Structure 1
Amino acid sequence: MTTGAWKGHINGILYGIQFDPALDDTVVNRVADGVVGGMYPGDRAVTLDAVNEALRSSGPLNDVMETPHSEESIRDFLGKLAAALAARA
């Protein structure tokens, strides 16, 4: 998956969590359910691939879609989201 492709998926996820004060398990499950339910572009496998590509990236993840969350909290959230998406296989 190209950088532009995974960035688009990640930006969509960040857009959906930008107003959540904490990126807790409730938010993880809401986003994972939304991915499985078709509320985000791409299916579960495509989104999981995008999340894993993002986590392997050394660059900032919120450089286009800024959120009040730190880079560390976004990466932690995406790690939990990847696990949640993998569990829904």
Structure 2
Amino acid sequence: MRKSYEPQMRFGATPIAQLQLNLNCRDEIVPFLAALRHVYLDGPLRRSLTNLIAQDVSELSRRDTGRPGFDDWQILVLAVLRMN
């Protein structure tokens, strides 16, 4: 059962909108994390991207049966970080 993303937060988790990114850091990952935060907070953009991933990942399979796997949002994050 693959979902688009899990809206329910876990206990003790910091909301994505409240994450503090160190913009003075010279690491290359900080701009990617800022972009991912922007995409996550923009609902229509997030839905359109996760729909594109859903079409690509489960083109021939059913999304409503089977064991749980990565959400489409998790696939997007891992793909962006891999390309970094």
The alignment's TM-score, normalised by the length of structure 2, stands at 0.35
Answer 1 or 2: higher relative contact order, Cα 8 Å, separation at least 6: 2
What is the TM-score with the length of structure 1 in the denominator? 0.33
Structure holding more helix per residue:
1
